[in-house]
């Protein structure tokens, strides 16, 4: 059996199990999704949003990319964000990074990774903003861990800089923004940065006409 065929077999078993637990399981989900959460996470296969939060299909709207970035020219992210905020009306947005993130690790080197350079260039900027704090940490692993936390913090700030979030804050006082880091060693999430709806940011980023 090819490895991918195992996925199809597992899918059949999963669907059967769900139906045996609750014959209406799929019927309930088919017509409507009303998740309270948007998850912006790393593509890393070890950090699956639903599993680590114990949530079911229908509960979290998910966007994942390398190193859980919020990049203002990324139409994919912006489309997900607009849909989540304006149509699904999520109450919370979670940016979840993880210790040991290869994307952040790569950004901290001088290696040329080809097209990925353009993506992780944004993480190099995070290092530049926080160089004074990060560069004095004596241990390389601790430096990387702190960069992973600071990257999450900067991506939460990037969300707050968008007109989509500012408009929602002004009109409806939602959503709250949360920055979390997942630890691969013990499976636990550490909250590291919070921006409740309506938080003021550096005024240069605040739009006056929303
Ligand atoms: Co990662």
Mean pLDDT (the chain, rounded): 97
Q: How far is the CA of 103 from the centre of ligand 1 (A)?
A: 5
Overall fold of domain 34-197: Beta-carbonic Anhydrase; Chain A (3.40.1050)
Residues of the chain within CATH 3.40.1050.10 domain(s) are: 34-197
Q: How far is the CA of 192 from the centre of ligand 1 (A)?
A: 17
User: Could you report the per-residue pLDDT of 93-144, keeping only the tens digit for each?
Assistant: 999 999 999 999 999 999 999 999 999 999 999 999 999 999 999 999 999 9
Average of per-residue pLDDT across 77-105 = 98
Q: How far is the CA of 47 from the centre of ligand 1 (A)?
A: 8
Q: How far is the CA of 68 from the centre of ligand 1 (A)?
A: 7
Distances in Å between the Cα of 16 and the Cα atoms of 4, 21, 51, 147, 152 are 19, 9, 19, 43, 38
Known catalytic residues? 42, 44, 46, 98, 101
Give CA–CA dist 56/14, Å, rounded: 13
**Strand 176-182 vs strand 92-98: parallel, antiparallel, or unpaired?**
parallel
Give CA–CA dist 50/156, Å, rounded: 20
Residue 37, beta-bridge partner list: 60, 92
For residue 5, pLDDT beyond 90: yes
User: Could you report the per-residue pLDDT of 35-58, keeping only the tens digit for each?
Assistant: 999 999 999 999 999 999 999 999
Instruction: Give pTM, 2 decimals.
Output: 0.96
């Amino acid at each position: 059996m090819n490895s991918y065929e195992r996925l199809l077999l597992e899918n059949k078993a999963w669907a059967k199990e769900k139906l045996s637990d609750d014959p209406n399981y799929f019927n309930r989900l088919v017509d409507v999704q009303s998740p309270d959460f948007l998850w912006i996470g790393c593509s890393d296969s070890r950090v699956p949003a639903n599993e680590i939060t114990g949530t079911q299909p229908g509960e979290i709207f998910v966007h994942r990319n390398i190193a859980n970035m919020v990049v203002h020219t990324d139409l994919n992210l912006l489309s997900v964000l607009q849909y989540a905020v304006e149509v699904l009306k999520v109450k919370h947005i979670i940016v979840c990074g993880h210790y040991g993130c290869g994307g952040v690790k790569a950004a901290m080197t001088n290696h040329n990774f080809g097209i990925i350079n353009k993506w992780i260039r944004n993480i190099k900027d995070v290092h530049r903003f926080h160089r004074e704090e990060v560069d004095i940490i004596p241990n390389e692993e601790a430096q990387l861990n702190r960069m992973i936390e600071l990257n999450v913090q900067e991506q939460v700030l990037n969300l707050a800089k968008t007109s989509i979030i500012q408009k929602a804050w002004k009109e409806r006082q939602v959503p709250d923004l949360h920055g979390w880091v997942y630890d691969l060693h013990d499976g636990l999430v550490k909250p590291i940065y919070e921006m409740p709806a309506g938080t003021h940011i550096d005024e240069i980023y605040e739009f006056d006409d929303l």
